[in-house]
């Protein structure tokens, strides 16, 4: 058993953990980054955001090839080589994670392949992949261990017939039929991948809508496309029972009204949410208090109930998004360095990388109505965007939620290809407290989809060039 010391121990090397470690090293701290994987990356790089986006890119190419026929180009039926696709996806992952490994070395960070467990508020016990243990003393620690997929008792993931996102990303086979349980981020993204590769995809969602809580104006476009690509989308529905057979899984589906149907699927993907991953960390030994729903309780500097220990990312709060984790990494490290900082983003953008993509940030129309906030809404249809037409993609919408008095931007929602890129402008506008005049007077390059944000902003004054909307009535004095 060896004893080591470090100024900052970072547990978990996903986008939260490695961002924290890199910044702390850049600020002059001695840093030890701990994770069982060969290189940093976490779920996001190894079996989440990155591999899924690589496969979604392939899916989008398959759809473009089909669409090209109407542009006069005929490629024929695509031939899918799953092994080659898996090799390509794995190379993307390896290139990125090994790249992070090089950045670790360049910054003189100590990277330990191990799992960590708190012994007390300044000591960790580490177990390496060979089972050897050591002790690490730290001045501060940041816990960034992320989250795990929720299993359903009825459908426990078995790596063969019943998948979670990890199995589904391990591209081995394209089943003839796939049941996706959960119409959220993962279900729709991975369902889209398998549908493009040729599987007959059925989605069951227990709530009334796909992506419940997301603006209905945006969802409408997505649902329209998905109904043509999926075999069935069954809302208000869940799985009542399941049994594994040689050929796949027999399930009984039940609607909220109590009707049942029996169906068989070659594979089932369960994507019903994620839970903070705190198991085996020994947080109680360090005096760290838990909050609600399995999250670690933190203050606005990401500090836990134990002064020396911070928690960031999926383990600390919703939304479970990589970019929220890396933002919190910065706050935690700066707080440790004694800076007077707090977690206070104007808004956190979210993107679902389906086709079309859906992205939103800030206040939604529904939330404004629920909270009784007075708003004005503009909707610029992509059918009026030259760029969207040249891409053959008029199936989009840019929507702004605006304060009617100051014209300050309060929220934005975008559906359409590339919505995830476009939402960054609205996020910056929100952070800078921009109003729609600022957005409208900002020269946007032509012809681009970014112009839809300018046009939606101009719509507030009824001055959008490519969409006629009568001027707002002036308020009576
Ligand atoms: P989710 O919360 O997005 O969706 C889960 C869905 O499953 C919900 O709609 C829920 O109502 C439904 N559900 C739950 N139990 C069910 C049941 N028994 N039968 C039928 N439906 C059921 O969760 P997810 O898709 O597993 O993703 C987890 C998290 O990962 C997301 O919340 C998100 O934070 C993150 N994520 C983000 C991205 C991205 O940023 N693009 C992509 C993937 C995952």
Q: Which atom of ligand 1 is nearest to the CA of 149?
A: 26
Which helix (H) or strand (E) segment holds residue 248: the answer is strand 248-255
Q: Assess whether 466 carries a catalytic annotation.
A: no
**Residue 187 to residue 19: CA distance in whole angstroms:** 28
Q: What is the pLDDT along the chain (477 residues), one digit of tens a residue?
A: 567 999 999 999 999 999 999 999 999 999 999 999 999 999 999 999 999 999 999 999 999 999 999 999 999 999 999 999 999 999 999 999 999 999 999 999 999 999 999 999 999 999 999 999 999 999 999 999 999 999 999 999 998 999 999 999 999 999 999 999 999 999 999 999 999 999 999 999 999 999 999 999 999 999 999 999 999 999 999 999 999 999 999 999 999 999 999 999 999 999 999 999 999 999 999 999 999 999 999 999 999 999 999 999 999 999 999 999 999 999 999 999 999 999 999 999 999 999 999 999 999 999 999 999 999 999 999 999 999 999 999 999 999 999 999 999 999 999 999 999 999 999 999 999 999 999 999 999 999 999 999 999 999 999 999 998 776 665 554
What is the 200 CA–ligand 1 centroid distance (Å)? 20
Q: Which residue lies with its CA nearest to atom 41 of ligand 1?
A: 352
Q: 272, 275, 348, 421: which to mutate for ligand 1, most atoms within 8 A of CB?
A: 272
What does 116-171 look like in DSSP terms, one character per residue? Answer: EEEEETTEEEEE-TTS-EEEEEEEEEEE---EEEPPBTTB---SSSEE-HHHHHS-
pTM over 0.85: yes
Q: What are phi and psi of 55, to 5 degrees?
A: -70, -35
Closest residue to atom 28 of ligand 1, CA basis: 273
Residue nearest to atom 26 of ligand 1 (CA): 273
Backbone region of residue 41 per phi and psi (left: phi > 0; alpha: psi in -120 to 50; beta: other values): left
pLDDT at 197: 97
For residues 323 and 359, the answer to whether their CB atoms sit within 8 Å is no
Question: Tell me, what's the pLDDT at 475?
Answer: 56
210 Cα–ligand 1 center, Å: 10
Q: What is the torsional sign of CA 337, 343, 349, 350?
A: positive
Question: What pLDDT, on the 0 to 100 scale, is given for residue 477?
Answer: 44
| 332-to-286, 322, 403 alpha-carbon distances in Å | 18, 15, 33
Q: pLDDT at position 1, please?
A: 53
Other CB atoms within 10 Å distance of the CB of residue 66: 13
- List, as one string, the DSSP characters of 263-305: EEESEEEE---EEE--TTS-GGGGTPPB-GGGPBP--TTSB-S
* Tokens describing residue 239: 């799985």
Q: For residues 241 and 253, what is the distance between their CA atoms, to the nearest angstrom? A: 7
Task: Report DSSP state, residue 465.
Answer: T
DSSP symbols for 90-130: HHHHHHHHHHHHHHHHHTT-EEEESEEEEEETTEEEEE-TT
According to the model, what pLDDT value does residue 342 have?
Answer: 98
- Which residue is closest in CA terms to ligand 1's atom 23? 273
Residue 417 pLDDT: 97
Q: What is the DSSP letter of 344?
A: -
Q: Exactly one of 63, 323, 446, 466 is catalytic; which is it? A: 446
How close is the Cα of 318 to the center of ligand 1, in Å?
12
Residue 246 CA to ligand 1 center (angstroms) comes to 28
Using the atom order of ligand 1, give the atom closest to the CA of residue 211.
Answer: 9
Site to probe by mutation for ligand 1, drawn from 43, 155, 164, 184 as the one with most ligand atoms within 8 Å of Cβ, is: 184
How many whole angstroms from 362 Cα to the centroid of ligand 1?
A: 20
Q: What per-residue confidence (pLDDT) applies to 435?
A: 98
Closest ligand 1 atom to residue 165 Cα is: 26
CA of 205 to the centre of ligand 1 (A): 10
Measured from the Cα of 353, ligand 1's closest atom is 41
Q: Which atom of ligand 1 is nearest to the CA of 321?
A: 34
**Ligand 1 center to residue 187 CA distance, Å?**
7
- 360 vs 374: CA distance, rounded Å: 19
Residues with CB under 6 A from ligand 1: 152, 181-187, 189, 204-207, 212, 238, 271-274, 319-321, 351-353
Choice from 44, 168, 181, 186 to test ligand 1 binding pocket (greatest atom count within 8 A of CB): 186
Please count the CA atoms within 13 angstroms of the CA of 102 that sit on its side-chain side: 6
Q: Which ligand 1 atom is nearest residue 274's CA?
A: 28
pLDDT of residue 3: 77
Domains of the chain by start residue, with CATH: 4-149+275-336 (3.50.50.60), 162-272 (3.50.50.60), 350-461 (3.30.390.30)
């Amino acid at each position: 058993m060896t004893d080591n010391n470090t100024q900052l121990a970072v547990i978990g090397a996903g986008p939260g953990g490695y961002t924290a470690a890199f910044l702390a090293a850049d600020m002059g701290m001695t840093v030890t980054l701990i994770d069982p994987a060969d290189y940093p990356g976490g779920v996001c790089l190894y079996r989440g955001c990155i591999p899924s986006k690589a496969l979604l890119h392939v899916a989008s190419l398959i759809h473009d090839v089909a669409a090209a026929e109407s542009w006069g180009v005929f490629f024929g039926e695509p031939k899918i080589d799953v092994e080659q696709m898996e090799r390509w996806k794995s190379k993307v992952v390896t290139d990125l994670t090994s790249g992070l490994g090089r950045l670790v070395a360049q910054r003189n960070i100590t990277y330990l392949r191990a799992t960590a467990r708190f012994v007390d508020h300044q000591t960790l016990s580490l177990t390496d992949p060979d089972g050897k243990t050591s002790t690490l003393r730290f001045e501060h620690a940041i816990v960034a261990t992320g989250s795990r997929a929720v299993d359903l008792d009825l459908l426990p993931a078995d790596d063969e017939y019943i998948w979670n996102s990890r199995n589904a990303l391990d591209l081995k086979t394209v089943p003839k039929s796939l049941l996706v349980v959960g119409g959220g981020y993962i279900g729709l993204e991975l369902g889209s991948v398998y549908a493009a590769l040729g599987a007959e995809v059925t989605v069951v969602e227990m709530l009334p809508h796909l992506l419940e809580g997301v603006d209905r104006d945006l969802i409408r476009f997505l649902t329209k496309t998905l109904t043509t690509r999926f075999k069935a989308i069954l809302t208000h529905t869940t799985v009542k029972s399941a049994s594994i057979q040689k050929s796949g899984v027999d399930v009984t589906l039940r609607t909220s009204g109590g009707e049942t149907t029996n169906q068989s699927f070659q594979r089932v993907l369960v994507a019903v949410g994620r839970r903070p991953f705190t198991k085996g960390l020994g947080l109680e030994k360090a005096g760290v208090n838990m909050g609600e729903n399995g999250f670690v309780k933190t203050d606005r500097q990401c500090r836990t109930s134990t002064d020396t220990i911070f928690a960031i990312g999926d383990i600390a709060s919703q939304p479970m998004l990589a970019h929220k984790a890396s933002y919190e990494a910065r706050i935690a490290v700066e707080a440790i360095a004694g800076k007077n900082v707090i977690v206070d983003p104007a808004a956190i953008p979210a993107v679902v990388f389906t086709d079309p993509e859906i992205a939103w940030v800030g206040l939604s129309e529904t939330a404004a109505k629920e909270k009784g906030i007075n708003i004005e809404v503009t909707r610029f249809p992509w059918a009026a965007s030259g760029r969207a037409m040249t891409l053959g993609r008029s199936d989009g919408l840019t929507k702004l939620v605006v304060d009617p008095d100051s014209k300050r931007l309060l929220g934005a929602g975008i559906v359409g290809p590339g919505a995830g890129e476009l939402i960054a402008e609205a996020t910056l506008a929100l952070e800078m407290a921009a109003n729609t005049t600022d957005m409208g007077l900002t020269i946007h390059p032509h012809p681009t989809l970014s112009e839809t944000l300018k046009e939606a902003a101009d719509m507030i004054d009824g001055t959008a060039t490519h969409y006629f909307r009568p001027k707002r009535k002036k308020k009576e004095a």
